[in-house]
Amino acid sequence: MPTKPEATPTTTGTGPIIDVRDLAVHFGLRGSSLARLFGRDAGTVKAVDGVNLTLARGEVVGLVGESGSGKSTLGRALLGLAPATAGSIVFEGQDLATLSRRRLRDLRRHIQMVFQDPSAALNPAMTVEEAVGDALRVHGMRSAEERRVKVIDALERVGLSPVELFLEKYPRDLSGGQKQRVVMARAIITGPSVLVADEPISMLDMSVRAKILQLMLDLKQDLGLTYVYITHDLASAKYFCDRIAIMYLGRIVEIGATEEIFANPRHPYTKALLRAIPDPDPGRQLPRDLPRGEVPDAAAPPLGCAFHPRCKEATPTCGWESRDLRTLVEAHWTRRSPDEYGAERAVVGDIDHFDKPATSTTLGAQGAPAAREFLDRVRIEAPDDPIWGGIESITDDGSGVRVHFHEGIDPALRRAGGVEVACVLYPETSTEG
Amino acid sequence: MRKVFKALAKPFTETAGLARWMLVIGIVITAVFVICAIFAPLLAPYGFDQTSADGVQFVKREAPSGDHVFGTDRLLFDVLSRTIWGARTAIEVVVLSIVICVFVGVPMGLISGYYGGWLDRILLLIMDALFAFPSFLLAIVFAFLLTNKLPSGGFSGVLAVSLSLSVIYVPQYYRVVRNTTVSAKEATYVEAARAIGASDFVIMRRYLFGNVVQSVPVIGTLNAADAILTLAGLGFLGLGIQSTEAAEWGHDLNRALADAGSGIWWTGLYPGLAIVLLVTGLTLVGEGLNETINPTLRRRRLLPVVMTPREGDR
């Protein structure tokens, strides 16, 4: 059992405390009961897919992304709450991914978690004293008096005073901010060195948010904590984090120092996120060209770069495929009259096979010329869509045409200036910055 | 101490109107029977299998009179005494069977709901099978199987009947606890408990238990009413408790059946009345508790606020 390291000064550096290598967390999907009966696999969701992340002692790393980007799963995996499918999480020389459940439980006193919804994170049947003290109890502190002393100390640290007023309270008697303070008291009472904060302020009132963030900074100062701050809110991450990792569909697409990310965003997704930050200045007009569409289905991620279907700057080799063609064709049809739609539908024929990701697909039911003519019409309507660059060639095929796309490149994280980016726009040899 | 008192008074303070009256009446009726059960040796004029007093044998089927307020039956037993002693048997059986149910059903539901998987599937299948079976038939079968298997003694009859009643009711506790556990285990506070390093046992014991047993008291009281009826039914069929072992209303009713034709009403009326009253009382308690504990039915009592008139405000 490694002992808790001495509190280090909050300056960044002195070696990694957690080293995540090629971490993958996949969840098996449950198919229909019939499919399960025949033992057929319904596929897997790659919630975290090949993440490398190094936490230096005393730093604050932000994990930022939309819902479904895998940021929470990555945070949970750091505590061993989500089982790692592959890769390693090395903390104090031990790989969390291979530890037994028992050893993992012991280790959790060193890595703690703060949850998004403080109302849900506390057992409604436990008083504040019981809830906070239970963290000690499960780690073998039997004496109620000893626990009480520690609980009072922890509650004072998180600013719940006079403590006597809170010890006997139930969660339902407390406000959101107070509950979050109790959750934090429970997290720090075992003397952890790493705290994973999963959107700790997003469920709180605006007035309490800054106070809770300040409290977290104070705790970091006093206890020498290292934070993993998970959020979808870049504005608070800018205030709070030393480094930021932008996540998209289970991968880190850009990681670097906060100032560098904000001053010089490189990945198109980062740029889009930064543009989405509301700006209270009415005089400033920012382009609000947010990424189109939604986060794709993580069970069947896009080929190539996962962001390419929503990317403004997509290149021909970003991984265009049949599903993108379907999106394009259907968007085209939403603007047709019912008659036009009927006629075009007959030309195109069945497009359900587009759902199977492929870099080459057939289209058309009434001969190649009609199909080509249809594609031209679509192109005239949306000439700027980057998908046209991704089409390598269109050849005649049976009753229609076969559309060939360029083979996509799945970009890896590469150094680009002061940050690391996973985007084909920033190739390996980049020496800028 | 004050906390316990407050918790016990909660059903009263948080109900209003009909629910409150149901609860009060139910508790009063049940309390009368419980008192009868506890103090049966003091309250009953004779023993439940006593056929003579001071060397004088009782008269067979004597009409109610001074010596025998409720009369005697054909086995020379005093009906009043047997009715009072019957309360003791009934309460014993009901309490025992519910204790067995709670101790078997609740942990089983917790474990099954928490771990899920094949264990959950198998337990669910067994419990559903038991649940689907006609309950009285099941009780008869188990009472028949158990009656001679248990070590003989004064209590074996009560134990056998309690066990066979438990078999009927365990699926209900299991089902309710299992289903609430399945939804409660997804709560963030369970994940939070795991995050502080709690083991599965600790999570079930300290985090889930308190949040999933809330409907158990309601099932308990409602089952108690049902158990009285089943017990009487078993006794009526002559299964379970013999009349020399303990007084049992259902068994007495069986013996009174022959008397009814010849105009002897007292042997059947009093045990029957006792069954009806106790079942009513327990049902009222159960329904009243249900309205208190079940938040979808609960209507909190709103007290009118009377403002004191201001001075010189006429």
Contact status of A124 with chain B (Cβ, < 8 Å) = yes
CB neighbours (10 Å) of residue A418?
15
Q: Minimal Cα–Cα distance from B191 to chain A, Å?
A: 8
Task: With beta carbons under 8 A apart, name residues in chain A contacting B116.
Answer: none
Q: Which of B115, B121, B189, B202 to mutate to test the interface with A (most CBs of A within 10 A)?
A: B189
> Residue B295 has what pLDDT?
59
Report the candidate in B158, B160, B161 with the shortest Cα–Cα distance to residue B150: B160
CA–CA gap between residue A399 and residue A401 (Å, rounded): 7
In chain A, list all ranges with CATH 3.40.50.300. 16-261
> Residue A31 has what pLDDT?
62
Where along chain B do its domains lie? 18-293
The mean of the pLDDT values for chain A is: 85
Tokens describing residue A150: 């520690």
> Residue A306 has what pLDDT?
87
Return the SS3 of A45.
strand
Cβ B274 vs Cβ B83: under 8 Å? yes
> Residue B152 has what pLDDT?
63
> Residue A36 has what pLDDT?
59
CA–CA gap between residue A61 and residue A261 (Å, rounded): 13
The CATH code belonging to domain A16-261 is 3.40.50.300
Return the SS3 of A192.
coil
Tokens describing residue A275: 């543009």
Task: With beta carbons under 8 A apart, name residues in chain B contacting A139.
Answer: 197
Backbone angles phi, psi at A67, to 5 degrees: -60, 140
Burial of A425: CB neighbours in 10 Å, binned 0-12, 13-18, 19+: middle
User: Between chains, do A124 and B211 touch, taking CB under 8 Å as contact?
Assistant: yes
Is pLDDT above 80 for A431?
Answer: no
What pLDDT band is residue A111 in, cutting at 50, 70 and 90? very high
> Residue A286 has what pLDDT?
59
User: Between chains, do A121 and B198 touch, taking CB under 8 Å as contact?
Assistant: no
| Closest residue in chain A to residue B208, using alpha carbons only | A123
Q: Worst-scoring range by mean pLDDT, A62-71, A239-248, B14-23, B173-182?
A: B14-23
Is pLDDT above 60 for A12?
Answer: no
CATH T-level fold of B18-293:
MetI-like fold (1.10.3720)
Q: Percent of chain A scored above 90 by pLDDT?
A: 28
What are the start-end ranges of the E strands in A174-322? 194-198, 226-231, 243-248, 251-257
Q: What is the full per-residue pLDDT of chain B (314 aa) written as tens digits?
A: 666 777 677 666 666 677 788 888 999 999 999 999 999 888 888 887 777 777 777 777 777 777 777 878 777 788 888 889 989 989 999 999 999 999 999 999 999 999 988 999 999 999 999 888 888 888 888 888 887 776 666 677 788 889 989 999 999 999 999 999 999 988 899 999 999 888 999 999 999 998 888 888 888 888 888 999 999 998 888 887 777 778 888 888 888 888 877 878 888 888 899 999 999 999 998 888 887 776 565 555 566 777 877 776 55
> Residue A151 has what pLDDT?
93
* Chain A from 147 to 186: CB within 8 A of any B CB: 183, 186
Q: Worst-scoring range by mean pLDDT, A50-59, A115-124, A154-163, B52-61?
A: B52-61
User: Between chains, do B196 and A121 touch, taking CB under 8 Å as contact?
Assistant: no
Checking ipTM against 0.85, whether it exceeds it is: no
Is pLDDT above 50 for A322?
Answer: yes
Which DSSP category does A309 fall into? G
Q: Which of A115, A136, A138, A141 to mutate to test the interface with B (most CBs of B within 10 A)?
A: A138
Cβ A410 vs Cβ A319: under 8 Å? yes
Is pLDDT above 60 for A433?
Answer: no
> Residue A228 has what pLDDT?
94
* Chain A from 289 to 318: CB within 8 A of any B CB: none
Contact status of A270 with chain B (Cβ, < 8 Å) = no
Query: Tens digit of pLDDT for each residue in A393-416?
Result: 888 888 888 888 988 888 888 888
Contact status of B194 with chain A (Cβ, < 8 Å) = yes
C-alpha separations of A67 from A81, A92, A249, A250 in Å = 19, 31, 9, 11
Query: Tens digit of pLDDT for each residue in A360-372?
Result: 888 888 888 888 8
Return the SS3 of A94.
strand
Tokens describing residue B184: 């409660």
Q: Minimal Cα–Cα distance from B189 to chain A, Å?
A: 4
Q: Worst-scoring range by mean pLDDT, A126-130, A170-174, A381-385, B295-299?
A: B295-299
What pLDDT band is residue A11 in, cutting at 50, 70 and 90? very low
Query: Tens digit of pLDDT for each residue in A141-187?
Result: 888 899 999 999 999 999 988 888 899 888 988 999 999 999 999 99
Q: Worst-scoring range by mean pLDDT, A29-33, A64-68, B244-248, B257-261?
A: A29-33
CA–CA gap between residue B70 and residue B82 (Å, rounded): 10
